[in-house]
C-alpha cells in the first residue's frame, strides 16, 4: 500500500480528527490570551535584558538604558494586552480554518511562531533550562500539526507521525524530569498532588517520582517497533495528559472559591488541551491505519 494512502481517511473520520487538532490549537491560543489579559507574560526577560537590548535601544531609540527601563513598563503592559488579543484571533482562526482558510493559515503560522518565542522567553527567564522549553513542544506544535493535516486533507505520511511522537515524547519527558527532581520540581506539582490525593509532602514526592518514571517510559515506548507498544504509550499519554490538565482546576477547587479558581487556573488547563488531545488524535489515526492495513491480524480481530 502506498505510504500516502495510509493517511487517507473516510470523510467523517477526517473531520473528527481535524476537530481534535482544532480544539488543541484553539485551547493553547485561548488559554494564552486569558493569561496575557489578566496575568503577565515574560517579555520583560528580553526587553529589559541589558546585555541583549542596550545597544539596540541606544542606536534605534536614541536614549540611555536607565531612561528606557524607567519609561517602558506601561508600554510593555499594553503590548502584552495586544498579544492577548492576537492570541484570541488565532484561537478563532483555528476553529474556523475550514471556513476561512486563507485568513486562518497565516494567522496560525504567525501564532505558532509567537508560541515558540513565548517558550523561549520562559526558558530564558529560567536561566536557559532546556526542559523548560521542550515541555511546551505540544503547545507550540499544535498549530503546525493542524495546518499540515488540513492542507493535506488527512493524507499524512510517516514524517508527520514521527514529529508528532517527538512532540509528545518531549513534553512528557520534560514533565517527568521535573517530577523526578532531575531539574527543580515546581512547588505547585507537590501542592496539586497533596490537594487531590490527601498524601503528605514526602508521599507526594514519591508519587511524583513514579509518575516521572512512567512519563519517560511512555516516551521511549512511542519509538519501539511494536504496535502494541506505541498504542499502549499513546493510551497512557491520553489518560495522564487529561489527568494533569484537569488537575490545574481540580486540585484547587477545595481551597478557593469558584470565581478565583476560574480566574487563576482555568486558562492553565485550557492551554494544556494538546497534552491529551494530540496523543488521542495520533492514537485514533494509527489505530485506523493499522486496522485497515491488517484486517486479518489477530491484534484487531
Q: Is 157 helix (H, G, I), strand (E, B) or coil?
A: coil
Q: Which residue has the cell 538604558?
A: 65
Distance in angstroms (rounded) separating the CA atoms of residues 270 and 41: 17
- pLDDT digits (tens), the chain, 301 positions: 344 444 454 444 789 999 999 999 999 999 999 999 999 999 999 999 999 999 999 999 899 999 999 999 999 999 999 999 999 999 999 999 999 999 999 999 999 999 999 999 999 999 999 999 999 999 999 999 999 999 999 889 999 999 999 999 999 999 999 999 999 999 999 999 999 999 999 999 999 999 999 999 999 999 999 999 999 999 999 999 999 999 988 888 776 677 777 888 899 999 999 999 999 999 999 987 777 776 644 443 3
Residue-level pLDDT at 26: 98
**Of 76, 28, 26, 6, which is closest to residue 48 (Cα–Cα)?**
76
Domain boundaries, given as residue ranges, for the chain: 3-300
Predicted pLDDT of residue 11: 41
Of 168, 177, 118, 124, whose CA–CA distance to 142 is shortest? 168
Q: Which helix (H) or strand (E) holds 93?
A: helix 73-95
pLDDT of residue 7: 44
pLDDT, position 163: 98
Taking alpha carbons only, the member of 133, 88, 134 closest to residue 111 is: 88
- Using alpha carbons, list the distances in angstroms from residue 21 to 77, 117, 145: 31, 21, 7
Using the structure block, give the residue that is written with the C-alpha cell 514529529.
Answer: 163
How many secondary structure helices (H) and strands (E) does the chain include?
Answer: 16, 0
Per-residue model confidence as pLDDT tens digits over 16-51: 999 999 999 999 999 999 999 999 999 999 999 999
**What spatial distance separates the first Cα and last Cα of the chain, rounded to whole Å?**
21
The Cα–Cα gap between 6 and 115 comes to: 31
CA gap 262, 122 in Å, rounded: 23
pLDDT at 262: 81
pLDDT at 295: 60
Q: 259-268 contacts: CB < 8 A, separation 24 or more?
A: 263/38, 266/34, 267/30, 267/31, 267/32, 267/34, 267/35, 267/38, 268/31
What local confidence, expressed as pLDDT, does residue 300 receive? 39
- Closest to 163 (Cα-Cα) out of 173, 148, 178: 148
Three-class DSSP category at 39 = coil
Helix (H) or strand (E) holding 52: helix 50-56
The Cα–Cα gap between 263 and 35 comes to 9
> Which DSSP category does 60 fall into?
I
SS3 content of the chain, % helix, strand, coil (to 5): 80, 0, 20
What is the reported pLDDT for 118?
98
Amino acid at each position: 500500500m502506498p505510504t500516502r494512502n495510509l493517511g487517507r481517511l473516510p470523510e467523517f473520520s477526517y473531520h473528527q480528527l481535524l476537530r481534535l487538532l482544532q480544539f488543541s490549537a484553539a485551547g493553547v491560543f485561548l488559554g494564552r490570551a486569558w493569561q496575557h489579559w489578566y496575568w503577565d507574560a515574560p517579555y520583560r526577560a528580553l526587553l529589559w535584558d541589558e546585555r541583549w537590548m542596550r545597544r539596540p535601544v541606544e542606536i534605534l531609540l536614541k536614549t540611555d538604558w536607565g531612561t528606557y527601563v524607567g519609561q517602558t513598563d506601561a508600554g510593555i503592559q499594553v503590548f502584552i494586552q495586544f498579544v492577548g488579543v492576537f492570541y484570541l484571533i488565532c484561537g478563532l482562526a483555528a476553529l474556523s480554518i475550514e471556513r476561512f482558510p486563507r485568513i486562518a493559515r497565516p494567522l496560525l503560522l504567525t501564532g505558532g511562531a509567537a508560541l515558540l518565542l513565548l517558550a523561549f522567553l520562559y526558558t530564558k527567564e529560567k536561566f536557559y533550562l532546556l526542559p523548560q522549553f521542550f515541555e511546551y513542544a505540544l503547545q507550540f506544535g499544535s498549530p503546525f500539526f493542524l495546518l499540515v493535516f488540513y492542507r493535506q486533507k488527512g493524507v499524512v505520511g510517516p514524517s508527520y507521525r514521527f514529529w508528532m511522537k517527538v512532540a509528545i515524547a518531549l513534553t512528557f519527558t520534560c514533565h517527568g524530569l521535573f517530577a523526578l527532581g532531575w531539574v527543580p520540581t515546581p512547588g505547585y506539582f507537590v501542592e496539586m498532588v497533596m490537594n487531590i490525593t490527601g498524601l503528605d509532602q514526602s508521599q507526594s514526592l514519591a508519587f511524583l517520582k513514579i509518575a516521572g518514571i512512567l512519563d519517560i517510559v511512555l516516551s521511549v515506548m512511542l519509538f519501539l517497533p511494536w504496535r502494541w507498544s506505541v498504542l499502549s504509550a499513546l493510551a497512557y499519554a491520553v489518560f495522564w495528559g487529561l489527568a494533569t490538565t484537569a488537575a490545574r482546576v481540580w486540585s484547587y477547587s477545595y481551597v478557593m472559591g469558584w470565581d478565583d479558581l476560574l480566574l487563576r487556573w482555568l486558562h492553565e488547563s485550557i492551554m494544556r488541551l494538546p497534552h491529551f488531545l494530540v496523543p488521542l488524535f495520533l492514537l485514533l489515526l494509527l489505530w485506523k491505519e493499522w486496522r485497515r492495513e491488517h484486517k486479518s491480524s489477530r491484534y484487531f480481530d
